[in-house]
Amino acid sequence: MKGFKDFLMRGNLVELAVAFIIATSFAALVTAFTAIIMEAIAKAGGAPNFDEWAPGGFTTVGPFLTALVSFVLLAAIVYFLVVKPYQAARERFVAAEEPTTEESVELLREIRDSLRARG
């Protein structure tokens, strides 16, 4: 029983649960935004819905193409609206917070190197 309690109280489990909840919510948000984009494309030039298309009698090709178009749109949305801004912000803030080596650490490294050089 103690092992199970330790498992539940471990921080990783809680962080994983929070990540799962946020990811599920984010997926719904991105799916809704993709639906808006698909609707805008449909109004501009016809619905990108290939569900009825069945070349050579293959009825699963049309739904696959519709899912493929949705996936590409979803991937583009995530990349351009989440990944790129995150990378830009990270580069800006991480570059500003470059780790500096303390003088005592640098001195200890010099002492270590000189002791190694002696043999």
If asked whether residues 79 and 116 sit together in one domain, one would say: yes
pLDDT tens by residue, 47-101: 667 778 788 888 888 888 888 888 888 888 889 988 899 899 888 887 666 666 6
pLDDT tens by residue, 32-44: 887 888 788 778 8
Spatial separation of the C-alpha atoms in residues 35 and 83, rounded to whole Å: 20
If asked whether residues 53 and 107 sit together in one domain, one would say: yes
If asked whether residues 62 and 85 sit together in one domain, one would say: yes
If asked whether residues 57 and 17 sit together in one domain, one would say: no
If asked whether residues 17 and 41 sit together in one domain, one would say: yes
If asked whether residues 57 and 79 sit together in one domain, one would say: yes
If asked whether residues 55 and 85 sit together in one domain, one would say: yes
Q: What does the pLDDT average to over 97-109?
A: 76
Residue 78, judged by CB atoms within 10 A of its CB (0-12, 13-18, 19+), counts as middle
Spatial separation of the C-alpha atoms in residues 9 and 21, rounded to whole Å: 18
Stated pTM of the model: 0.53
Work out how many domains the chain is built from and give that number: 2
**Domain carrying residue 103:** 49-119
